[in-house]
Amino acid sequence: LRFVEMMGGRINIESEPGVGSCFTVSLPDIRPMIHEDISQGDGPLILVIEDNPSDQSLLVRELTRSGYKFEVAHDGVKGMAIAHESCPAAIILDIEMPGMDGYQVLKALNADEQLRPVPVIVVTAHDVRHIVTTLGASYFLAKPIDREALHQTLSECCEYFSQLAASA
């Protein structure tokens, strides 16, 4: 039930004693979210570095609903390039990706003077909170991603980033 609700869906249950039960799961169509022409808000820019299309779609949908601008990178190399070009207010980073994985991205971000101050939210299904915070992650969210926790974390990141920009 929790997974379905997190994806914006619902579950209907019809049950008749002695006959059986029928479960119906309804999920929103996420394919349009992958399309390039998604309307973006005018809020702070968030960089999503995630290789899984369904996780990308979930994150993009939540960013769109909250009025953020966003860029999506499918791997760490592309993510680093976008980060240098756009200087995002926050980075949402997956750990398990082909090529340059999330650990390598964290190390590269931490070694880069320009990008080191950018808050990084690591999202992964693995319990690696201690490792990623040691490598420089600002926040850790477990997959499946809780919407409320994501929104709260993004709010904190953007507040920090705006204070940082004001003091520069």
Over the stretch 38-72, which tens digit does the pLDDT of each residue have? Answer: 557 788 999 999 999 889 999 999 999 999 999 99
pLDDT digits (tens, 9 = 90+) for 119-152: 999 999 888 888 888 888 999 999 888 999 999 9
State the DSSP code for 96: -
Domains, the chain, ordered by start: 30-167 (3.40.50.2300)
pLDDT at 34 over 70: no
- The C-alpha atoms of residue 95 and residue 61 are separated, in whole angstroms, by 20
Q: In what order do the strands lie in the sheet with 90-94?
A: 69-73, 45-49, 90-94, 120-124, 139-142
Instruction: Please tell me the pTM assigned to this model.
Output: 0.75
* pLDDT category of residue 158 using cuts at 50, 70 and 90: confident
The reported pLDDT for the residue numbered 92 is: 97
How many of the other CB atoms lie within 10 Å of CB of 139? 21
In total, the chain counts a number of residues equal to 168
The reported pLDDT for the residue numbered 6 is: 64
Strand 69-73 to 139-142 pairing: unpaired
pLDDT digits (tens, 9 = 90+) for 68-120: 999 999 999 999 999 999 989 999 999 999 889 999 999 999 999 999 999 99
The reported pLDDT for the residue numbered 35 is: 40
Residues 124 and 143: beta-carbon distance below 8 Å: yes
The reported pLDDT for the residue numbered 60 is: 92
The reported pLDDT for the residue numbered 37 is: 44
158 vs 139 pLDDT, higher one: 139
- The C-alpha atoms of residue 154 and residue 97 are separated, in whole angstroms, by 22
Residue 36's nearest CA partner among 67, 86, 71 is: 71
